[in-house]
Structure formats: C-alpha cells, structure tokens
Amino acid sequence: MSDRGKRHEAYRRGHSAERLAAIALMLKGYRIIGRRYRTRLGEIDLIARRGDVILIIEVKARATLQQAMDSVDRQTMRRIEAAADQWLARQPDHERLSLRFDLVAILPWRWPVHVPAAFTA
C-alpha cells in the first residue's frame, strides 16, 4: 500500500473511532458540541458538554488501553490544551464553564473505554 493509501486508511479509521466514541459518550448523557475542532495551535477530537462541565476528548484507537494512554504525550497534551483555551475563549458563558481533559480508547472488539480526567492542563 502506498503512503497516500496508508494515510487515507488511518484518516478513515480515525473518523470511525471518533464516531464510536461520540455514541458512547451520548449514551452516558453527554451532548457532543464539537468534532475535530481545528486551530493553528492544534486539534480537539471531540468536545462534549453536560451542565457546566466541558469535556475535551482525545480519541485513540489502539490495541490496549495502556497503549492508548501512553500515546498521549506531553506535546499532545500541550497541543490539545492550547486548542481548548482558544475554544473556551470564544464561548459567551466561558466564565462558568469548567474544562476536563478525557480520553476515549477504542479497543478491538470492546466497547469504548472512557477515561475521565486522563490528563490535566
């Protein structure tokens, strides 16, 4: 498979993983208010809300939960935090919102694993 084909396949897998993560979160009572929010500083996979709590969610499709958690390194955290700060600043009710950085791991043949407060800003 060419590099372009591999990139396309990874992009398609990423979209599928994010869709599955969004469904799992909605079933837990969260409202998805953003998908693939992009800034020049970084990208947020999913943004969900329940009450005044905003979840900034990184979705990782990996073979194990440990691999998914290990794949979120310091640089990834800084990128997500910068994008979240920019998103939050644009919200009219930003002063009463609280952010939480979660991970949803998409594992083979399992329901998505939601890890609340997987990392802190």
When pLDDT is averaged across residues 35-57 and rounded to a whole number, the result is 95
Instruction: Write out pLDDT tens, residues 78-88.
Output: 999 999 999 99
Q: Per the structure, how many domains does the chain have?
A: 1
When pLDDT is averaged across residues 95-112 and rounded to a whole number, the result is 95
Confidence of residue 34 (pLDDT cuts 50, 70, 90): very high
The residue with tokens 């390194």 is: 73
Residue 67, domain CATH: 3.40.1350.10
When pLDDT is averaged across residues 43-62 and rounded to a whole number, the result is 96
Q: 72 is written with which tokens?
A: 């979120």
Average confidence score pLDDT of the chain: 93
* Whole-number pLDDT of residue 68: 96
Work out the angle at residue 74's Cα, subtended by the Cα atoms of residues 52 and 25, and round it to the nearest 5 degrees. Answer: 35
Helices (H), 1-121: 3-27, 65-70, 74-89
* Whole-number pLDDT of residue 14: 82
CA dihedral 14, 17, 64, 79 (to 10 degrees): 60
Identify the domain containing residue 96 by its residue range. 3-119
* Whole-number pLDDT of residue 12: 82
Q: What is the pTM of this model?
A: 0.91
